[in-house]
């Protein structure tokens, strides 16, 4: 299965191609009051409001900040009726991932990070974390719980 390889916190991660709707330049974000740190904000994306998350925060990676660089991209994941934007430092290309080659996630990962990953594969450039798109879409339930509690 094809995956889009992105950089998050300087590390490489793969997003399943069947969940990637599009990739574009980072739009301006509007912060959402009382939102968890992994919610970067919302954006006007092609005339609709799109929630944008910073997976670097959940994955415990360095680089999670307001700083945007020229290569920063918004990767829009979609599975009807849900869409979510992911901030990526860079999009590196496409990688074919053989499901049989996916190793389990490291046991040393924090719980939130482990829940977002299906596992990892290794290519010529080193390890690539394979992100579970379903776990990313499920974040919307956590956002609602945090908003009600706050």
Domain ranges of the chain: 2-149
Instruction: Please report the pLDDT score of residue 63 as a whole number.
Output: 58
Other CB atoms closer than 10 Å to residue 130's CB: what's the count? 24
pLDDT in tens, 12-32: 999 999 999 999 999 999 999
Domain 2-149, what fold?
Answer: OB fold (Dihydrolipoamide Acetyltransferase, E2P) (2.40.50)
User: Does residue 121 carry a pLDDT above 70?
Assistant: yes
Q: Flag whether the pTM goes above 0.85.
A: yes
Tokens 């290794």 belong to 122
pLDDT confidence of 129, banded at 50, 70, 90?
very high
Tokens (6 digits) for 7: 């950089």
DSSP 8-state secondary structure symbol assigned to residue 47: T
């Amino acid at each position: 299965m094809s995956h889009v390889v992105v950089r998050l916190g300087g590390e490489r991660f793969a997003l399943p191609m069947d969940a990637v709707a599009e990739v574009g330049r980072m739009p301006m974000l509007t912060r959402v009051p009382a939102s968890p740190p992994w919610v970067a904000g919302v954006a006007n994306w092609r005339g609709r409001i799109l929630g944008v998350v910073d997976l670097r925060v959940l994955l415990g990676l360095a680089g999670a900040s307001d700083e945007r660089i020229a290569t920063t991209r918004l990767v829009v994941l979609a599975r009807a009726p849900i869409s979510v934007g992911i901030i990526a430092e860079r999009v590196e290309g496409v990688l074919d991932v053989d499901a049989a080659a996916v190793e389990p996630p490291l046991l040393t990962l924090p719980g939130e990070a482990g829940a977002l990953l299906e596992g990892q594969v290794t290519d010529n450039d080193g390890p690539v974390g394979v992100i579970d798109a379903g776990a990313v879409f499920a974040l919307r339930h956590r956002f609602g719980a945090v908003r009600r509690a706050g």
